[in-house]
Amino acid sequence: MTAKKLGPYQTLKAEGTYKIGADKPTIAFNRIGKRGVRRYDGYAKASGKALYTRDVLLPGMLYSKVLASPFAHAKILRLDTRQAEAYPGVRTVLRFDDPAIHGRELTGSIAGPTRMAPQSAGWAMLPVKTILGDEAIFEGQMVGVAVCADSEQIAAEALKRVKIEWEQRPILLDQEEALQPEAPILIPGADSNQIIDERELTTKGDVEQGFQEAEQIVEFTARRHAHLWAGAELPCVIANWSGDKLEMWVHEQQPYLSKLILSEQLNIPMNKIQTHSLYQGCSFGERCNPSNWHQNGINVLAVLLARKAGRPVKLVLNRAETFYGESGDVMASHFKVGAKQDGTITAVQMKSVFANYMCTTGVEHLIDNTRISHLRCEGITAHVNKPPAWWCRCEQLPNVFCQTLIFDHVADALGLDPTQVALRNDGCEGHDPSYLSEFKRRHGFPDRDSLRECIEAGRKAIGWEEKWHAPGTRRLPNGRMHGMAFTWSHDWDDTRGTGSAAVMIQNDGSVSIIAQHSDVGVNPWTAYMQIVADELGVPYEDIEINPFDLNVGFALMSPDGSCNLGSNGFVVKKAAQKAKQMLLDLASEKFDRPADALDVKESVVFEKARPENRMPLKEVVKMATPMLNAVGIWTEPPVLAWAWHTHGLWGQALETGRPRMCRQANFIEIEVDTETGEVFVTKVVNVNDVGQAISPETVEGQMYGGTYMGLGRALTEEMVWDPSTGVLLNRNLLDYKYATLLDYPEAECIYLETGLGHGPYGSTGIGENTATMIPGLLGPAVYNAIGQRVDDFPITPHKVLKALGKIKE
C-alpha cells in the first residue's frame, strides 16, 4: 500500500465535523488549565466506594467459568461432561457442540470478516472465530465447555471433572521460524502461516534513489518480545434477562460496540439491551477490540448461559486466565538507513515480521514527523501458537521503537549529537519544517517550533550539555558505566471517532452532562466538566456527569486517555455553547435585551453593558417554563442542548488528513554494572507539548505513570513460554515483573502549551505517549553506557553480559 499523501486542506461544512484550523479560546479560562480542581472520581476511588463490574451482585446470580486448554495447540476429540453436570451446585453446562452455538462465528458488521480488525487480531489465527470452539491454538485458551454454578468455586471444581480426549498438534512460537518453507502449517487448509494484511507495505518516494544520495549506510536488526497488555481489574461480564429485555454489565472500553455485536449475534433489538459500564481498574486498550473473543465472546456466552439457566449469570476470569493478551508488537525488524554526513536521513528500508498481529509497518511516525522523502517498509505477520495480541497502533512500539533506533544508529554512525539529528530531520510527509510553518500561518496556528522547544527544555532538565558523551567512555566512581539517550516523536493527536452528548440545565440551575463513557482510570470526566464550566459560565461544583448508563441516548466515543479528549472535548464544548445560547435566549425576555447583550459568569446572567443588571441563573430557568403540572411543579427542564462531533479515523480529518505539529522529547540517564549486567535508571525527563492542558494533573499523571510502564516493558516485563510445550511459564504477578514506583526514581515531567494541537483550544492528546516512547529508549542508553548494542527487548542482564562478551552461547 502506498502511504496516503496530504492533499489540499478544506473545511467541511457539515454540522459536527472537524474544521481544520486553530481552535482558539473565545472565553476566559476559569477552570480550564487550573490546578487543584476536584477530581470527579477521586473520592469514590480513594474511599473504596467506587463500584466496579466485579462488585455487582444480583439476587439469585450464578457464576460461570470456561475451560482453559492445557495445550498450546490441540483439538478436542471427545468431551464427557456428565460428572461436571452432576456436581452439586452446578445449574447448567454449555458445550461447544450445543446446537445453540455449534459452529457459530463471532461476527457482525463490526466484528465481521470484511473488517480489518478480525483479519489482523489474534483470533484471525482461526479461520472460523467460533463463540466456543473445539480447537485451542494457545495454552490457556478458553474452549470446549462453560459451567454455570452457585459459586465461582463450584464452577471451577466442576470443570476439573470434565473428561477430554485431546489430539495434540505441532506448535510454533517464533514468527520468523513459522514462515520457513518446512514449518508445519497451523491453520488447516492454508498454504502458509503468513497472515495476509492489506497494510503490509508502505512506500514513499524512491528508496533506491535515497540510498544513492546517502553518504553513509547503516544496517542493523532489532527484536521486541511479548509483554503483557492487560488491565489491573480482572475482566468479567454479567447478563440478566427480564422477559425479552437483556441487561448487561460489561468491563470494556467500547460498550456501545458490544451492544451492537450482541444485537447482531443473538438477533436482539438494540433497544432491548441495557448496557452498564462501571468503574474499571485500567484496561490499556486490550478490551476494546470488537473482534476478540476475550471481550465479546464472553459477553455472548454469558447471555446464552443466563437464558439457559433462567437466572442472572456472572462470567469471571481469574488472574491466570487473564494472562493472555500480549502486546501487538512482537516483532523482528531489519533496517537499512541512508544518511548524509550532516545527519539528513535520505532513505529508510525496513522489513518487520510480527507474531499474530500487525496494525502497522512501523513507518507512520517517520511519515508524520520527518522530512525523509524515500521510504519502503514492509510488515509480515505469521501465525504462531501464542495468545491473541491486542492493539499495536501507530503510537505503539513498532513505530516509536523503529524511529528511536533509526535515529540513534544514524547519529552514532556519523558521530553527531542525536538531538541535532532529530532537528535536522524534523518535518512532515517528506517536507521540511517550512511546510509546517506555512500550514500554521494559513490556518491560524502560532508559528512555534514545537520540537526545538521540547528538546531545549529536556536538554536543560537532564543536563545534556554536561553529561552526554561518546558510547562506552564514561565510568563512574562507583564502577558502573554511565549512559544517556534521547528520543522524540509527535504528541498524540489521534482524535478518531464520533461522539455525542447533551448538556442540561436543571430547574434549580445545576447542570448535568448526559453521555455514556467508560472509565479507564485517566480522569477524563474532570476535564469535560472543566470545559462545560467555562463555556457555560457556571461553577465546576455545580456540574454532574453520570457516564455509566448507556441508555441515556448519547454515547461519547470510548475509551478516553489514548485519543479521545479531542473528539469528546469538542462534543461537550459544543453542547455547552448551545446550552448557553438557549439560556441567553430565555434570559433575553426577562432582561428585555437581545441575547448577544447578555453573558453568564459564576451562574449569574448579566447585561454586559451594565453588569449590575443581573439575575441568578436558577431564576432565569425557573421562570422559563410557562406551564405547571397539577401539583405546581415545572414539567421539564428548559435547557437541553445536544451536540455531536467526529474527527475521522486514525488521526485523519475526514477530508484529507492533517499534519501533526505538537512534539515530545524524552531523555534518560542510566548506569550499567558490567559485572552483573544490571541496568540502573537514575533519571528520566519527559517533555510533552500538549498544546493546551485542560487538566494539568491529568497530563502529568499520564506522563509519570507512563514512565514506569515504559521502564517495565523495557527491562523486566516479558512473557516466557516453554519452547517445547508452548506453555506460558510466568502466568502470575510474582514471576511477571511489573515495574512499580519503588523500582525507579521519580520522573521529571514537563509539559509545554503551544496551542498547536487539533483538539479544543489547541490541545492535543497525552495518553500512552510516555509509555510507548520509553521502552525503545533503553537500547540507545545501554549502548551509550557500554559501547555495545543490545537491540533485543526487553534488555535483561543476560543480554547485557552477552553483548559484553562475558557470556557465550
For the segment 137-155, the average pLDDT, to the nearest whole number, is: 94
Judge if 503 and 466 occupy the same domain: no
What is the DSSP-derived secondary structure letter of residue 184? P
Nearest to 731 by CA among 389, 322, 329, 355: 322
Start-to-end Cα distance in the chain: 40
pLDDT of 197: 54
Q: Which residue has the cell 512555534?
A: 448
**Choice between 140 and 290, residue whose per-residue pLDDT is larger:** 140
Judge if 584 and 728 occupy the same domain: no
pLDDT of 327: 64
CA atoms within 13 A on the CB side of 724: 0
Q: Which residue has the cell 558510547?
A: 471
Phi then psi dihedrals of residue 260, to 5 deg? -65, -45
Q: Is residue 394 over pLDDT 60?
A: no
Quick check: is 331 in a domain? Answer: no
- pLDDT tens, position by position, 479-526: 999 999 999 999 877 556 678 889 999 988 999 999 888 887 888 899
Nearest to 422 by CA among 358, 515, 339, 541: 339
Judge if 574 and 714 occupy the same domain: no
pLDDT of 412: 98
pLDDT of 430: 93
Judge if 528 and 630 occupy the same domain: yes
Return the top range by mean pLDDT from 509-523, 572-586, 640-654.
Answer: 572-586
C-alpha cell at 214: 546517502
pLDDT of 647: 67
Q: How many CB atoms lie within 10 A of CB 227?
A: 24
For the segment 174-189, the average pLDDT, to the nearest whole number, is: 90
- pLDDT tens, position by position, 89-125: 999 999 999 988 887 777 655 544 433 343 333 333 4
Least confident among 581-590, 648-657, 678-687? 648-657
pLDDT of 3: 31
> What's the alpha-carbon Rg for the chain, to the nearest Å?
28
Q: How many CB atoms lie within 10 A of CB 699?
A: 24
Q: How many CB atoms lie within 10 A of CB 341?
A: 11
Q: Is residue 418 over pLDDT 80?
A: yes
Judge if 525 and 621 occupy the same domain: yes
473 confidence band (pLDDT: 50, 70, 90): very high
pLDDT of 328: 60
Q: Is residue 445 over pLDDT 90?
A: yes
**Choice between 239 and 256, residue whose per-residue pLDDT is larger:** 239
Domain holding 248: CATH number?
3.90.1170.50
Domain boundary among 612, 646, 680: 646
Quick check: is 664 in a domain? Answer: yes
- Paired with 647 in beta bridges are none
Q: Is residue 127 over pLDDT 70?
A: no
pLDDT of 398: 64
User: What's the domain count of the chain?
Assistant: 3
Return the top range by mean pLDDT from 285-289, 293-297, 459-463, 623-627.
Answer: 459-463
Q: Give 503-554 as a 3 state SS string.
A: EEECCCCCEEEECECCCCCCCHHHHHHHHHHHHHCCCHHHEEECCCEHHHCC
Judge if 563 and 671 occupy the same domain: no
The pTM assigned to this predicted structure is 0.91
Judge if 639 and 656 occupy the same domain: no
Quick check: is 59 in a domain? Answer: yes
Domain holding 636: CATH number?
3.30.365.10
For the segment 436-456, the average pLDDT, to the nearest whole number, is: 94
Cβ contact 493:609 at 8 Å:
no
Q: How many CB atoms lie within 10 A of CB 245?
A: 13
**Choice between 506 and 129, residue whose per-residue pLDDT is larger:** 506
C-alpha cell at 628: 405547571
- pLDDT tens, position by position, 428-444: 999 999 999 999 999 89
Residue 809 burial (10 A CB sphere; 0-12, 13-18, 19+): exposed
For the segment 334-346, the average pLDDT, to the nearest whole number, is: 97
Judge if 521 and 613 occupy the same domain: yes
**Choice between 524 and 201, residue whose per-residue pLDDT is larger:** 524
234 confidence band (pLDDT: 50, 70, 90): confident
Q: Are β-strands 236-242 and 604-607 bridged in parallel, bridged antiparallel, or unpaired?
A: unpaired
pLDDT of 391: 59
3-state secondary structure of 434: helix
Judge if 807 and 753 occupy the same domain: yes
Quick check: is 200 in a domain? Answer: no
Judge if 635 and 730 occupy the same domain: no
Least confident among 97-106, 234-243, 412-421? 97-106
Quick check: is 407 in a domain? Answer: no
Q: Is residue 364 over pLDDT 60?
A: yes
Domain boundary among 307, 322, 337: 322
- pLDDT tens, position by position, 690-741: 999 999 999 999 899 899 999 999 999 999 999 999 999 999 889 999 898 8
Quick check: is 345 in a domain? Answer: no
Judge if 782 and 671 occupy the same domain: yes
Q: Which residue has the cell 447478563?
A: 239
- pLDDT tens, position by position, 603-638: 999 999 999 999 999 999 886 655 545 445 545 668
Alpha carbon 395 to its chain centroid, in Å, reads 9
46 confidence band (pLDDT: 50, 70, 90): very high
d(CA 756, CA 448): 8
Query: Cis omega (within 30 of 0) on the bond before 559?
Result: yes
pLDDT of 319: 86
Q: Is residue 380 over pLDDT 90?
A: no
Quick check: is 193 in a domain? Answer: no
**Choice between 19 and 292, residue whose per-residue pLDDT is larger:** 19
Judge if 712 and 751 occupy the same domain: yes
Q: How many CB atoms lie within 10 A of CB 309?
A: 19
14 confidence band (pLDDT: 50, 70, 90): very low
298 confidence band (pLDDT: 50, 70, 90): confident
Q: Give me the percent of the chain exceeding a pLDDT of 90.
A: 58
286 confidence band (pLDDT: 50, 70, 90): low
Q: Which residue has the cell 453573558?
A: 599
Nearest to 126 by CA among 312, 336, 307, 383: 383
Q: Is residue 465 over pLDDT 90?
A: yes
Domain boundary among 617, 646, 675: 646
- Domain housing 685: 443-492+652-809
Cβ contact 396:232 at 8 Å:
no
Quick check: is 563 in a domain? Answer: yes
3-state secondary structure of 371: coil
Q: Is residue 200 over pLDDT 50?
A: yes
d(CA 697, CA 701): 6
| Mean pLDDT (the chain, rounded) | 86
Q: Is the dihedral of CA 591, 594, 595, 598 positive or negative?
A: negative
Nearest to 400 by CA among 774, 782, 789, 792: 774
Which residues, at least 6 apart from 271, have a Cβ–Cβ distance to it below 8 Å? none
Residue 592 burial (10 A CB sphere; 0-12, 13-18, 19+): exposed
554 confidence band (pLDDT: 50, 70, 90): low
